[in-house]
Amino acid sequence: MMKALLALEDGRTFACRSFTGPGEASGEVVFNTGMSGYQEILTDPSYRGQMVTMTYPLIGNYGVNAEDVESDRIQVAAFLTREYQAHPSNWRAGGTLADYLKSQQVMGIDDLDTRALTRHIRNAGAMRAVASTIDSDPRSLVAKARGIDSMVGLDLARVVTSKRAYRWRDGRREDLKPSESGLDQGLWRHRGRRPAVVAFDFGIKYNILRCLQTRGCEILVVPAQPDAESVRALEPDGIFLSNGPGDPEPVAYAVETIRRLLGYRPIFGICLGHQLLGLALGGRTYKLKFGHRGINQPVKNLVTGRVEITSQNHGFAVDLDSLDPNAVEVTHVNLNDNTLEGFRHRELGLLAIQYHPEAGPGPHDAHYLFDEFRSLIAG
């Protein structure tokens, strides 16, 4: 344990400790209200560039394992906790949280007043910050925090996306062979027997791919940048737009591609994919004050009237008033702040959801949305 200091851009500082040794980390500080699921949170690409604080006080008590990951690496800039548990007690544990963070040079903080930090962010909004064991000067750290790039205007999808296309097969990534260098319909191995789905990787979570595979889909994951012509050359049965980090508006290349694919095949967008679909339909997005991050967000399904408890992780939202009501039907709203959580097009085969129906971690109330996408493809 080493003494550390966390400094926010507005000048607020918090004394704390590092349980991963010396270091310095920076990013936008956000809070997650989940009581469990910290390994999935750590590896969720939507957290790229962010320092995540957990509102549940005891973290590390069930260790880490090789199964509960949502990408191939830790994505958070730093992990902020109230009390780190150094001795995990769980039959699935394959190691400690501290060793896991240290293996990828990610800073872990504890002995931090996470309640005070969360209340501050809730009132003042998510903001840039620096945590350090090296620099103990509050003024220096605050100046560093103010020099960090703002999340507004930041295209992080380009950073986290896969560099090349790959298949998702039997619950794991399968890289294409050197002979399979071009994007064409010859890449499908089960054409005609399973729905062929092209999944855009803006920071895709593994559990999304697992859910699509469970519905019988053959999945080809492509990087964020392919144009509409490359997707059409694959002749898929459906198109999926993944979650991802950062501001959706700078991802203009994806918005243009999506706009040119509207009406071509059924499209399902989650999180950042939802926001990009909103932009492609002529809507606007904006940054939320402190975002929605947790596994207990209430959402009302306006079609069925049911309330779903959902897993969420986003800092931006689609402006409901910016969408054409004659073309777009609102299907889901957040019951905490009435923000838009889902919509579909009245004529095109298009489904968009702001939260995470794959729920890794979280409840399974919204798994039916993958079935709806499967039905769109079949229809």
Q: Does 290 lie in the same domain as 186? A: yes
Instruction: Answer yes or no: is pLDDT of 218 > 90.
Output: yes
- Catalytic residue of the set 16, 40, 271, 341: 271
Q: What's the rounded Cα separation, in Å, for the pair 16 and 1?
A: 10
What's the DSSP call for residue 186? G
Q: What's the rounded Cα separation, in Å, for the pair 270 and 67?
A: 23
Residue 35 is assigned to a structural domain of this protein: yes
Tell me what pLDDT residue 283 has.
Answer: 98
In whole numbers, what is the pLDDT of the chain averaged over residues?
97
Kindly report, residue by residue over 286-323, the tens digit of the pLDDT.
999 999 999 999 999 999 999 999 999 999 999 999 99
Instruction: Answer yes or no: is pLDDT of 128 > 90.
Output: yes
Q: What's the rounded Cα separation, in Å, for the pair 149 and 25?
A: 14
Q: Does 200 lie in the same domain as 298? A: yes
Across the range 122-129, mean pLDDT stands at: 97
Looking up tokens 């994505």, which residue turns up? Answer: 75
Q: Does 178 lie in the same domain as 139? A: no
What's the DSSP call for residue 127? E
pLDDT band with cut points at 50, 70 and 90 for residue 196? very high
Instruction: Answer yes or no: is pLDDT of 244 > 90.
Output: yes
Q: Is 358 annotated as catalytic?
A: yes
38 neighbors 141 (Cβ within 8 angstroms): no
pLDDT band with cut points at 50, 70 and 90 for residue 325? very high
Q: What's the rounded Cα separation, in Å, for the pair 262 and 259?
A: 5
Q: What's the rounded Cα separation, in Å, for the pair 264 and 239?
A: 9
Q: Does 134 lie in the same domain as 192? A: no
Tell me what pLDDT residue 179 has.
Answer: 87
Across the range 197-203, mean pLDDT stands at: 98
Q: Does 211 lie in the same domain as 346? A: yes
CA torsion through residues 365, 198, 154, 360, sign: positive
With CA atoms as reference, report the closest residue to 43 among 65, 27, 26: 65
With CA atoms as reference, report the closest residue to 78 among 55, 121, 49: 49
Q: Does 351 lie in the same domain as 287? A: yes
Strands 166-169 and 50-54: what pairing? Answer: unpaired
Range of 25's domain?
2-146
Residue 151 is assigned to a structural domain of this protein: no
Tell me what pLDDT residue 1 has.
Answer: 87
Q: Does 6 lie in the same domain as 51? A: yes
Q: Give me 244's structure tokens.
A: 């991802």
Tell me what pLDDT residue 379 has.
Answer: 85
Residue 111 sits in a domain whose CATH number is: 3.50.30.20
Instruction: Answer yes or no: is pLDDT of 182 > 90.
Output: no
- Among the candidates 146, 173, 202, a domain finishes at 146
- Catalytic residue of the set 28, 40, 218, 358: 358
Q: Does 139 lie in the same domain as 168? A: no
Tell me what pLDDT residue 48 has.
Answer: 98
HEC string of 233-283?
HHCCCEEEECCCCCCCCCCHHHHHHHHHHCCCCCEEEECHHHHHHHHHCCC
With CA atoms as reference, report the closest residue to 376 among 191, 225, 197: 197
Residue 136 is assigned to a structural domain of this protein: yes
Q: Is 274 annotated as catalytic?
A: no
Instruction: Give the helix ranges, DSSP H, for the chain.
Output: 38-42, 97-103, 114-124, 138-146, 157-160, 206-214, 228-234, 252-261, 272-280, 368-378
Kindly report, residue by residue over 77-118, the tens digit of the pLDDT.
999 999 999 999 999 999 999 999 999 999 999 999 999 999
With CA atoms as reference, report the closest residue to 369 among 296, 278, 275, 268: 268
Q: Does 229 lie in the same domain as 87? A: no
Instruction: Answer yes or no: is pLDDT of 147 > 90.
Output: yes
Rg (CA), the chain: 21
- Catalytic residue of the set 120, 332, 345, 356: 356
Residue 152 is assigned to a structural domain of this protein: no
HSE-CB at 209 with a 13 A cutoff on CA atoms is 25
Residue 236 is assigned to a structural domain of this protein: yes
Q: Is 16 annotated as catalytic?
A: no
Other CB atoms within 10 A of residue 65 CB: 16
Instruction: Answer yes or no: is pLDDT of 32 > 90.
Output: yes
362 neighbors 298 (Cβ within 8 angstroms): no
Q: Does 179 lie in the same domain as 323? A: yes
Residue 141 is assigned to a structural domain of this protein: yes
Residue 269 is assigned to a structural domain of this protein: yes
- Among the candidates 146, 177, 197, a domain finishes at 146
Residue 317 is assigned to a structural domain of this protein: yes
- Among the candidates 112, 146, 180, a domain finishes at 146
Tell me what pLDDT residue 91 has.
Answer: 96
Instruction: Answer yes or no: is pLDDT of 71 > 90.
Output: yes
Across the range 264-283, mean pLDDT stands at: 98
259-269 CB burial, b ≥16 within 10 A, e <16: eebbeebbbbb
Q: Does 356 lie in the same domain as 229? A: yes
Per DSSP, the three-state class of 158 is helix
User: What's the domain count of the chain?
Assistant: 2
Which pTM value belongs to this model?
Answer: 0.97
Q: Give me 90's structure tokens.
A: 């769980």
Tell me what pLDDT residue 181 has.
Answer: 78
Q: Does 204 lie in the same domain as 137? A: no
Residue 300 sits in a domain whose CATH number is: 3.40.50.880
Q: What's the rounded Cα separation, in Å, for the pair 131 and 145?
A: 9
Tell me what pLDDT residue 253 has.
Answer: 97
